[in-house]
Chain A
Amino acid sequence: MNETPTRAPLRPAAATRRIDPRAFALPLALLALWWLLTAGGWVDTRLIVPPGNVLRVAARTLGDPVFWQGVLFSVARDAGGFAAGALGGVALGSALGASRLAERLIGPSFHTLRQISLFAWLPLLSSWLGYGELSKLVFVALSTLYPVALGTFEGVRGVTLEHLDVARVYRFSRSQLLFRLILPAAAPQIATGLTLGLVYAWVATIGSEFLLANWGNGLGNIIIKGRAAFNVELIIVGMLAIGAIGTSLNRIAARVEARALRWQRPPT
């Protein structure tokens, strides 16, 4: 093992990361423009609402338990669907990757079904499973399944013959082979798939709440009702909430991924 770590550390040094003040120029300019336009009365303030109103509505919304209930419902839906889809995706991806037979039998169908644009499933799912929680959960799970299965498949395919030979020499059982060789070796690609799956799960959660706005409770439902009431402030607040929650979910996932894959990094 003369494999000396010649690679540079993957993370940029945290100390050198300093926010360039120029980053704030564009947002500040846009805010100023927004404020000027609405304060000067040059635009229809029912359409382009003053920033102050948005702040007021934001403060009121953040103090409203109904809003937090919606957020909680959405996040729970997202997490539940994601968990189911991730499990299914890892299982499907490992099967497709490790077994030629499974790949030949299921692979073509999987790759064809994958081409059906996700939201096209929603009307059919809701007519099968009703407008309740179940159809949304299944939809979120389906949206997660594809990227996770693809990532796992690629990862499992990347397992080298040498590793497999070593495992054979040690007479690994099937479950040992899966849990001690294949899944650890495929871990980086599975993590990539999971990260992508998380993004899609959040999109699917919000999207299903938009499309089935009259049923159930959630962040998406609140926003669509705000649109029906022409409450632009609420829409903007909701949009910011969607972005903030999605971003924090991705941040958490990146943290977890970095920690879970720490053993993969070359020693520094």
Chain B
Amino acid sequence: MSASTDDASVFPPRGRGALPQPQLGALLDFARTGVGAVARRVGRAACGLILPAFVLAAWCSAAAHHWVPEQLLPAPASVWQSLRELWAAGDLQSHLGFSASRVAWSLAIGGSGGLLLGFGMGLSRTLRAYLYPSFNVAAQFPVLGWVPLLIIFAGIDEGLKISAISIAVVVPVTINTLKGIANIPPHLLEVSRVYRFSLAQVLWRVVLPAAAPSLFTGLRQAVMQAWLALVFVELLASSEGIGYLIVWGRQLSQPDLVVAGMVVIGAVGVLLDLALRWLESRVQRWRRAAF
């Protein structure tokens, strides 16, 4: 550092020459805090891994010493093995594909139904008076209660799964849409009236941005409910899909398949959660930019 100060005294800093030093300092600071942050993050992740590592070690030794019958607790190696076999044979992908398409269809059907209901009841007092009490009563019923009835009407094919999961999606989407619209500050609507916004403008430029966080909460709950309902329906009645993988393992008395299915379900759950969080941060950024 002394060399650079000497240089500075020989060549007095002028104009652009003065810039590098603070930049260097800032860079060093940044590097230091950056390294610190990275180290902290690594440390935190390591802390979080202690418990799983411990459990995994206990599991491995339990399997190696045959403390528990293999029928009850499959060895981690055999779970990994069956996961790899399922992947190599393409079974895993096709089961996942079935499940994903069920969730996607239900989100599309239930989500648009929920948005329609939510916006309708949120914007029209008359519609709300006619529909909301019935909706509220129906929403109190757990989705699972509908399933036996749906089986009678829709059989046990795709129709059952999509209708059951759609019902699971409609409820949170409608409730949150309604909530989002009800919580729009009245002065925003007054301003839009002053500016003589058309209905489309009010919807697009006031209602939608103001209700966006609530809509997003609805989406998040809908995805989680859909995933819950999907696994239930697939366990109850299906011949393909990720839940069926578990049923299949159970029927073949292959506990490694059961655990493999759970691992996949957990992994998809984590990915969905991450994706939703990412989307949420995007939505909020857009919201900040809008105002």
Contacts and interface: CB of A to CB of B under 8 A. Distances in A.
A119 B232 contact: yes
A207 B250 CA distance: 18
B133 A207 contact: no
B279 interface: no
Interface stretch (A23-31, A32-40, A155-163, A257-265): A23-31
B88 interface: no
Nearest to B51: A109
Majority secondary structure, A binding face: helix
A235 B148 contact: yes
Contacts of B48: 104-105, 107-109
B208 interface: no
B262 A116 contact: yes
A207 B144 contact: yes
Contacts of B266: 112-113, 115-116, 120
B246 interface: yes
Contacts, number: 141
Contacts of B261: 120
Contacts of B86: none
B134 A116 contact: no
Interface residues of B, number: 55
A203 B265 contact: no
A70 interface: no
B195 interface: no
Interface residues of A, number: 52
Interface string B228-269: 101110011000000100110110000100110110011001
B78 to A, nearest CB: 15
Interface in B270-291: 270, 272-273
B254 to A, nearest CB: 11
Interface string B34-51: 000000000011011111
A179 to B, nearest CB: 27
A123 B247 contact: yes
Given A108-B48, A117-B227, A119-B228, A239 B273 contact: no
A128 interface: yes
A202 B142 CA distance: 8
B149 interface: yes
Given A106-B51, A239-B148, A206 B142 contact: yes
B270 A105 contact: no
B246 A123 contact: yes
Contacts of B90: none
A26 B131 contact: yes
A172 to B, nearest CB: 28
Contact of B270 (A27, A112, A121, A223): A112
Nearest to B270: A115
Interface stretch (A57-65, A90-98, A180-188, A226-234): A226-234
Interface in B102-132: 126, 129-132
A238 interface: yes
Contacts of B269: 114-117
- The 7 lowest CB-CB distance pairs between A and B, nearest first, are A115-B269, A108-B48, A23-B133, A243-B141, A104-B47, A116-B266, A242-B145
